[in-house]
Amino acid sequence: MIGFEEIRKLSHKSVSRIVLLVLDGLGGLPHPETGRTELESARKPNLDRVARESICGLTDQVSPGITPGSAPGHLAIFGYDPVKYSVGRGIIAALGIDLKLGPGDIAARGNFCTVGGDGTITDRRAGRISTETNAELCQLLNENIVVSGAELRATPVKEHRFVLLLRGEGLSAELADSDPQQVGLAPKRIEALSTSARRTAAIANEFLSEARTLLQGRIPANMVLLRGFSQHPDIPSIPDIYKLNPAAIAIYPMYRGLARLLGMRLLPAGEDITQQLETLHRHYEEYDFFFIHHKSTDSRGEDGDFEAKVHAIEEVDDALPQLLNVNPDVLLITGDHSTPATLASHSWHPVPFMLRGKWCRPDPVTEFSERACISGGLGRFPAVDIMTLAMANALKLDKFGA
Amino acid sequence: MIGFEEIRKLSHKSVSRIVLLVLDGLGGLPHPETGRTELESARKPNLDRVARESICGLTDQVSPGITPGSAPGHLAIFGYDPVKYSVGRGIIAALGIDLKLGPGDIAARGNFCTVGGDGTITDRRAGRISTETNAELCQLLNENIVVSGAELRATPVKEHRFVLLLRGEGLSAELADSDPQQVGLAPKRIEALSTSARRTAAIANEFLSEARTLLQGRIPANMVLLRGFSQHPDIPSIPDIYKLNPAAIAIYPMYRGLARLLGMRLLPAGEDITQQLETLHRHYEEYDFFFIHHKSTDSRGEDGDFEAKVHAIEEVDDALPQLLNVNPDVLLITGDHSTPATLASHSWHPVPFMLRGKWCRPDPVTEFSERACISGGLGRFPAVDIMTLAMANALKLDKFGA
């Protein structure tokens, strides 16, 4: 198997540019009435035009049948075996809001939530409270909670989300979540997953207990949930592996965080795909790899709103000419996983993929869809091969062996 | 994953015969004017007829996006993971001219080259001097260079190519090349890649320094370049793994060398595909596996001569009836990598493959081409699976497990 060690030796700088557009949760399933998936239902002349000029395929991010989280889904696209390289949810959340993390620091993703009189969760997102309310509540927690053995700090993200940072000597991230991931259950006590994590578990549980007291009565945000305790992983960077000078144009904190972790520069992304593509134009000469992340395809899929997901795809198609007119040497359009609106969640279904470039050996595919990509020249392939294919098509890889 | 250990247990001798025809650099890219690849442009009724009777597919030799050198490309076809089993360029060159190598011997591939007054390379191949001139120059080097600590011997190959053999106690092959692989740069001093290789590096550098003095003024061959220092690798043989009695009908030294390394008998190959197939007929009863190597598809691709590569394919098609009339139990036709004429170099594009045999479960493919093979029954698959498929179709593999 080719690994980073070989890629590092084979890759070299060149003038060509790679643009990767990720439509989060792109893949879908047929609508029960029409038999057509979200992609097949969308009016998307520009995506179809790119498909005709591309080599197409379907990717498995982790392995057939495995539903990827957002981090593994993206790690695979960037060439990182998502089983080998795991990045905790807490770390990604922390990086996304620019928290500086020391080597021993532990981050957890937090939610303000609503619990009923019996202590069970009635809303895991506390009715998506405003970011302002969130900031006030974080301040309340920070000013009132003191736990011996660690410095704790909650930092607000968007709406109901926050990051809890734990700093101190000898802490361990081997902790289970307090978030049971469903309503009707009570928040769990945090369990140590190893004996060396027992003290940290006690610290986290003390935080939860004090938070419950402080938030009492502040409905809808009367409790917190914690998950994804993690430390900064030891992970090679994209500039190191691929000799690229990469930039990310992502709006959502988590994807910005992941991009930063992998060594990308974060560019101002604005508020929608049109503004993201303006950024691409403005900075096109400065980088040789661009990661553009579009979130709403996934969000509308998660909402279970088929029509809205179709619309989110059409929104990208409408903006696409603005991307095509920079004429990237290599253009990749794909997703990080499927989020079929009929399932209203991430899924294991392989993800449509297309790569356009001067040397791409186009195939007979004339449409960008799950069904059409089955007949693509790339076939069904592991997403971890995407970056190598991109590098090859950009003529940035030397020959392997004599 | 199935490895040699399992294959060794499952394989058994039988009367069936396998013929593998490798068209070097077979895969291509569309001509910018016609949109058709070299294979798609060739008149090839016989190859197409075989495709109709075959199961087809596209192979990745190393990994998607990775451009294989000739050795990894072939090793994969014979079932050897080309990342695990690497064979140095020097060893392949030595084997190709039948040099006997002892266990501690080191071989390097040499080029006579031209350097200018400033010491930089102006021609890496010294204007492709004649093989006769090459032989005289090797004699000059051998008669005049004496380095303490090792016996050195240059043996001419074709044109500007030679093999340098280093024999002595405690030598190490962990040496970088002196060949910078491009004109305009000076030949490099040979660096030791480990401390234990320092003495060997000094020996090699002394050889280079004396060669420079001896060749001074002998333009165009006034210097030498060395690369691919290597020792005989520890690699299992085809007879050992597959219980086959294999023969190679290859014209070019490098492929003969590789075949010998893997335990094949070398048969007289003559000068073209017609003579190679005469050899096949003559020895058909003596072996149960034949590797026939056709070079010109790659050479014309490397030349960037689209029409000539088309012609090289047609040449094989014309000769094919001569192969078909031995009616091999299993016939495989493929390449070791792609060499698109438009790129004029090896490339990463997957390679058309077909396997014909009584038990092959044919697919709907009616033509032998990159595009048609996408829809083949084998799909896109790793080239390291080719031998196992060949063995299975020859009914030479037992059932795995109870």
pLDDT tens-place string over residues A97-112:
888 888 899 999 999 9
- For range B307-327, the mean pLDDT: 98
Residue A96, pLDDT > 90, answer: no
What's the gap in Å between the CA of A82 and the closest CA on chain B? 18
pLDDT digits (tens, 9 = 90+) for B148-187: 999 999 999 989 999 999 999 999 999 999 999 889 999 9
- For range B51-68, the mean pLDDT: 97
With b for 16 or more beta-carbon neighbours within 10 A and e for fewer, the B42-58 pattern comes to: bebebbbbbbbebbbbb
- Kindly list the residues from chain A whose CB atom is less than 8 angstroms away from the CB atom of residue B375: 375
Q: What is the pLDDT of residue B96?
A: 81
pLDDT bucket at A29, cuts 50 / 70 / 90: very high
**Residue B225: beta bridge partners?**
B111
Comparing CB atoms, the residue among A377, A390, A393 nearest residue B374 is A377
- Kindly list the residues from chain A whose CB atom is less than 8 angstroms away from the CB atom of residue B69: 399-402
Please say whether the dihedral angle defined by the alpha carbons of residues A143, A144, A145 and A149, taken in this order, is positive or negative: positive
Residue A1, pLDDT > 80, answer: no
Comparing CB atoms, the residue among B58, B72, B349 nearest residue A400 is B72
Token pair recorded at residue A12: 């070299």
Cis? peptide before B328, omega within 30° of 0: no
3-state secondary structure of B155: strand
Q: What is the pLDDT of residue B100?
A: 83
Cα–Cα distances in Å, from A148 out to A200, A206, A225, A384, B243?
11, 10, 21, 43, 70
Residue A365, pLDDT > 90, answer: yes
Beta strands A289-294 and A246-250 are parallel
Comparing CB atoms, the residue among A2, A359, A402 nearest residue B66 is A2
Please say whether the dihedral angle defined by the alpha carbons of residues B4, B5, B7 and B12, taken in this order, is positive or negative: positive
Q: What is the dihedral of CA B181, B185, B186, B192, to 10 degrees?
A: -50
What's the gap in Å between the CA of B299 and the closest CA on chain A? 15
Cα–Cα distances in Å, from A388 out to A11, A258, A394, B64, B73?
9, 19, 10, 7, 17
Cα–Cα distances in Å, from A356 out to A92, A324, B294, B379?
30, 11, 32, 21
pLDDT digits (tens, 9 = 90+) for B349-372: 999 999 999 999 999 999 999 999
Residue B7, pLDDT > 80, answer: yes
More confident residue, A334 or B182: A334
Q: Are residues A401 and B86, on separate chains, in Cβ contact within 8 Å?
A: yes
Q: What is the pLDDT of residue B171?
A: 96
Which residues neighbour B362 within 8 Å (Cβ) at sequence distance 6 or greater? Answer: B52, B53, B54, B55, B377
Considering chain A, what is the average pLDDT of its residues? 96
Which residues neighbour B376 within 8 Å (Cβ) at sequence distance 6 or greater? Answer: B55, B56, B57, B58, B353, B354, B363, B365
- For range A297-323, the mean pLDDT: 97
Q: What is the pLDDT of residue B97?
A: 87
- Residues B243, B252: contact at Cβ < 8 Å? no
pLDDT digits (tens, 9 = 90+) for A137-155: 999 999 999 999 999 999 9
- For range A34-44, the mean pLDDT: 98
Q: Enter the pTM of the model.
A: 0.90
pLDDT digits (tens, 9 = 90+) for A240-284: 999 999 999 999 988 999 999 999 999 999 999 999 999 999 999
Token pair recorded at residue A238: 């994209």
pLDDT more than 90, % of chain A: 93
Q: Which residue of A has its CA nearest to B89?
A: A402
Q: What is the pLDDT of residue B363?
A: 96
Q: What is the pLDDT of residue B90?
A: 93
Angle at A82 between CA A77 and CA A83, to 5 degrees: 160
Q: What is the pLDDT of residue B182?
A: 86
- Kindly list the residues from chain B whose CB atom is less than 8 angstroms away from the CB atom of residue A359: 29, 340, 342-343, 347
Q: Are residues A364 and B374, on separate chains, in Cβ contact within 8 Å?
A: yes
pLDDT more than 70, % of chain A: 100
Q: Are residues A399 and B68, on separate chains, in Cβ contact within 8 Å?
A: yes
Q: What is the pLDDT of residue B244?
A: 98
pLDDT bucket at B98, cuts 50 / 70 / 90: confident
pLDDT digits (tens, 9 = 90+) for B251-297: 998 899 899 999 999 999 999 999 999 999 999 999 999 999 999 99
What is the phi/psi pair of residue A57, to 5°?
A: -175, -170
- Measured CA to CA, the distance from residue A267 to residue A250 in angstroms comes to 8
- Kindly list the residues from chain B whose CB atom is less than 8 angstroms away from the CB atom of residue A402: 69-71, 87-89, 92, 109, 228
Residue A245 CA from chain centroid, whole number: 20
Q: Are residues B65 and A381, on separate chains, in Cβ contact within 8 Å?
A: no
- Residues A291, A247: contact at Cβ < 8 Å? yes
Q: What is the pLDDT of residue A151?
A: 96
pLDDT digits (tens, 9 = 90+) for A284-304: 999 999 999 999 999 999 999
CB pairs under 8 A between A and B: 94
* Other CB atoms within 10 A of residue A81 CB: 16
Q: Are residues A402 and B69, on separate chains, in Cβ contact within 8 Å?
A: yes
pLDDT digits (tens, 9 = 90+) for A153-180: 999 998 999 999 999 999 999 999 999 9
